[in-house]
Amino acid sequence: MDTISQSFALAVSMVAHLEPRLTQIVALSLAVSLSSTLCSALVGLPLGAAVAIARFPGRGPLIVALTAAMGLPPVVVGLVVYLLLSRAGPLGQFGLLFTPPAMVIAQTLLIVPIVAALTRQIVEDAWLEYREQLRSLDASWLQSTLTLLWDTRFSLLTVLLAAFGRAAAEVGAVIIVGGNIDGVTRVMTTAIALETSKGDLPLALALGVMLMSLVLAVNIGAHLTRQWARARFG
Amino acid sequence: MGFLALGLTLCIRAALAQQPFIVVASTTSTEQSGLFAHLLPTFEKETGINVRVVAVGTGQALDIGRRGDADVVFVHDKPAELKWLEEGSGVKRYPVMYNDFVLIGPDADPAHVKGGKDIAVAFKTIADVKAPFVSRADKSGTHSAELRLWKDAGVDIDKAKGPWYRETGQGMGPALNTAAALSAYILADRGTWLNFRNRADLGIVVEGDKRLFNQYGVMLVNPARHPQVKKELGQKFIDWLVSPHGQQVIASYRINGEQLFFPNAGTDS
Amino acid sequence: MADATIRQGAAAADVSIAVKADARIAREPAALPAAANADPAVIASGVDVVRGGTCVLGGVDVTIRAGSRTFILGANGAGKSTLLRVLHGIVDPTRGAVTWGQSSTRPRGHAMVFQRPVLLRRSAAGNIRHALALYGVRGRVADERIRDALTSVGLSDLAERPARVLSGGEQQRLALARAWALKPAVLFLDEPTASLDPPSTRAVEAIVENIHRIGTTIVMTTHQLAQAKRLATDVILLADGRVAEQTAAEMFFREPRSAYGRAFLEGERL
């Protein structure tokens, strides 16, 4: 209990003084997780919508695979990406290992299944509702997909916020591909891992409190968006 | 998605392209002792070269070098380093500094080894009594040293290990955390121990034995095998470390007034 | 709400209507001549629809007269909704064929209104704009059509309101406005007033009449006989997926030819 109250006080003081190393770590965390959320949206939203609408052999197993992939262990993703991006690996020539882009790639791979699987669920429900009307209006596949994606935009926003939360909170993938290099690839989660391993628990917990506040803020934002959207658009 | 990654790479590269940098694969004990935080800002100010340290266990650090993902390797396991050179992963080994290991134990001291000067005797006693002992078990320099000490003590650890011997597979810090929680003995490097905050009831029980000597070496990754290695910048770093000036900076690092690392470049260590 | 006098089979340009002040009708050239000897709007021949082993429609041959107000009647489960969808072209028959004019591909100029209005999370005007965009109508032309459509259903002051917060009756009128804006040659309606209260029902019926008046062929299903009596020019009676009768409405209601038709009108258990 003492450690916890100590940490809380430390966290507040760190934020109040805007310590440069702290702000650098938080800024990098946000940059990496926001980038990976954006990339996963570019891939996962169309993918989920396509699977929702199209009918093809193997669709059922694909949906099961996507849903299962939501639970991919971050360390496994990290290891695979590490092997791919290492100089000794197939994508070594880009020299991406131990840089923030590598972290973005790993996190994107981690959260794309979340975005795709949840988008599929949401768009499929909307598709059931709109299918006949869209067919009546002679909408093409592309037009239907775009209509559904836009119409479900608020639900999809909460999906993206959930994906962001998962990305921001994970440590296994980014620590392996990023190397937790001070000033370059150290983010909140890897900093917490480091401070814990140094036995500096109050500092680790203080960082943890900040991270949780961030994720909490994101979730509150999602909730309020849902509320507003429901009231405004029905 | 590859394009996006490339785009990001180029952006970041552009942003950091102002400053040349090298990647150094080193050990958790070196980083957690705080040495790099003391050393690198000086090096960077004097040469303009940014040093990016990936701190992992010795085994992984050598593997990173082997794959060509780092420019320089800075670890503390001479046999493993020599083997690494033999397989052609590196160019030349330069001894840089040494510190020592210390045997850490709980106040209760169930094996009654406190104050002893002979590490082999202490290890033998702990094994005989089956007092709780935490091992890093992660192919690190510290782990290799620990295994050598069991041998010196005449203990066949593979046969003798039991519930009393906890193999955690962790870095020095987490292993110390575990030892603190279990009130167990543990072999640690002095640097990490001095920097470690979560001591609980642990303290140094044996130190000073010559066999607790811990030598650090630095090596350039072989540019013949990995053409993208920054051999000039990497060599600059190595040269700086073994130069009288660099050695002086190393010696000046203290925790609570106590010197942590003892420079010994140029010796046959 | 518009209040209209109906004269069956009248040519579009000559009809006079009494309307309430706030609902004006855009006078447009007829989409199709309403004369009885024009090409049929839709023909279904030998249509079977089999779903999950059950025969929903069997051996259906129907002809929809251009310019008519054809009502499809029948008991629950008789196949009315399915037939409507086959005629519209959004359900493909298992056997048989449907032709529209000379063509066997569904023409773009047809629209459908469903029992429960399907509206997007946009404003009322936005929904109409979306449909027009699918037809390649944008910009000022679209703006004008949207204005006209909303006015003709009496929703012009709700143009910017989110469609899904409108009342049931307003939503159905919006669905009709959307169809109106597309200037369909044929308008299909699937029990459009089934979930509405009487005032909204009357409003919807008046709009349907107005759409018909400007030249659109109407094909509608209903389970309200009184509604069919009021509005139909032609009747198709379905029984268990088969056509029991297809005749002019006047004839059907006065003296049905089939025994089933007679029983149906008397409300006997079928």
Distance CA A206, CA B154 (A): 46
Residue C3 banded pLDDT, cuts 50, 70, 90: very low
Q: Identify how many contiguous H helices and E strands chain A contains and give both numbers.
A: 10, 0
| Mean pLDDT within C71-85 | 93
Q: What pLDDT was estimated at residue C13?
A: 29
Q: Over the stretch A108-123, which tens digit does the pLDDT of each residue have?
A: 999 999 999 999 999 9
Burial of B90 by CB count in 10 Å (0-12 exposed, 13-18 middle, 19+ buried)?
buried
Domains of chain B (ranges plus CATH)?
2-98+215-263 (3.40.190.10), 100-212 (3.40.190.10)
Q: What pLDDT was estimated at residue B1?
A: 52
| Mean pLDDT within C188-196 | 94
| Residues from chain A contacting residue B23 (CB–CB below 8 Å) | 98, 181
Considering CB atoms only, which of B6, B28, B53 is closest to A182?
Answer: B53
The reply to whether A132 falls in a domain is: yes
For residue C28, pLDDT over 70 is answered with no
Q: Over the stretch A64-122, which tens digit does the pLDDT of each residue have?
A: 999 999 999 999 999 999 999 999 899 999 999 999 999 999 999 999 999 999 999 99
Distance CA C83, CA C62 (A): 10
Q: Over the stretch A13-35, which tens digit does the pLDDT of each residue have?
A: 887 887 787 888 889 999 999 99
Tokens for A8, please give them: 């809380």
> Which are the contacts of B146, defined by CB distance < 8 A and separation ≥ 6?
B135, B136, B187
Considering CB atoms only, which of A97, A100, A199 is closest to B173?
Answer: A199
Helices (H), B183-259: 190-195, 231-242, 244-251
> Which are the contacts of C242, defined by CB distance < 8 A and separation ≥ 6?
C57, C58, C59, C60
Q: Which of residues 144-203 of C touch A (CB under 8 A)?
A: 162-165
- What's the complex ipTM? 0.83
The reply to whether A24 falls in a domain is: no
Distance CA B35, CA B142 (A): 17
Q: Over the stretch C33-53, which tens digit does the pLDDT of each residue have?
A: 344 456 788 888 889 999 888
Q: Is the dihedral of CA C7, C12, C13, C17 positive or negative?
A: positive
The reply to whether A76 falls in a domain is: yes
The reply to whether A7 falls in a domain is: no
The reply to whether A223 falls in a domain is: yes
Distance CA B53, CA B44 (A): 13
Contact A135 C90 (CB under 8 A): yes
Of B97, B96, B70, the C-alpha closest to B84 is: B70
Q: Over the stretch B34-78, which tens digit does the pLDDT of each residue have?
A: 899 999 999 999 999 999 999 998 889 999 999 999 999 999 889
Q: Calculate the average pLDDT of chain C.
A: 84
Domain hosting A46: range is: 30-187+209-233
The reply to whether A196 falls in a domain is: no
Q: What pLDDT was estimated at residue C2?
A: 39
Total structural domains in chain A? 1
User: CB of A143 within 8 Å of any CB in chain C?
Assistant: yes
For residue A134, pLDDT over 60 is answered with yes
Q: Over the stretch C109-131, which tens digit does the pLDDT of each residue have?
A: 899 999 999 999 999 999 999 99
Considering CB atoms only, which of C85, C118, C165 is closest to A234?
Answer: C165
Domain of residue A131, CATH code: 1.10.3720.10
Chain B residue with CA closest to A31: the answer is B8
The reply to whether A204 falls in a domain is: no
- If one compares C68 and B192, the residue with the highest pLDDT of the two is C68
For residue C10, pLDDT over 60 is answered with no
The reply to whether A200 falls in a domain is: no
User: CB of A86 within 8 Å of any CB in chain C?
Assistant: no
Q: Which of residues 43-82 of A touch C (CB under 8 A)?
A: none
Q: What pLDDT was estimated at residue B216?
A: 93
User: CB of A125 within 8 Å of any CB in chain C?
Assistant: no
Q: What pLDDT was estimated at residue C1?
A: 37
- Sequential pLDDT tens for chain B (269 residues): 555 555 555 556 555 566 899 999 999 878 888 899 999 999 999 999 999 999 998 889 999 999 999 999 999 889 999 999 999 999 999 999 998 899 999 999 999 999 888 999 999 999 999 999 999 998 888 898 999 999 999 999 898 889 999 999 888 888 999 999 999 999 998 878 887 888 889 999 999 888 888 899 999 999 999 999 999 999 999 999 999 999 999 999 998 888 889 999 988 77
Distance (Å) from the alpha carbon of C201 to chain A's nearest alpha carbon: 21
Tell me whether strands B262-263 and B90-106 are parallel, antiparallel or unpaired: antiparallel
Q: What pLDDT was estimated at residue A111?
A: 97
Distance (Å) from the alpha carbon of C163 to chain A's nearest alpha carbon: 7
For residue C12, pLDDT over 60 is answered with no
Considering CB atoms only, which of A137, A153, A154 is closest to C134?
Answer: A137
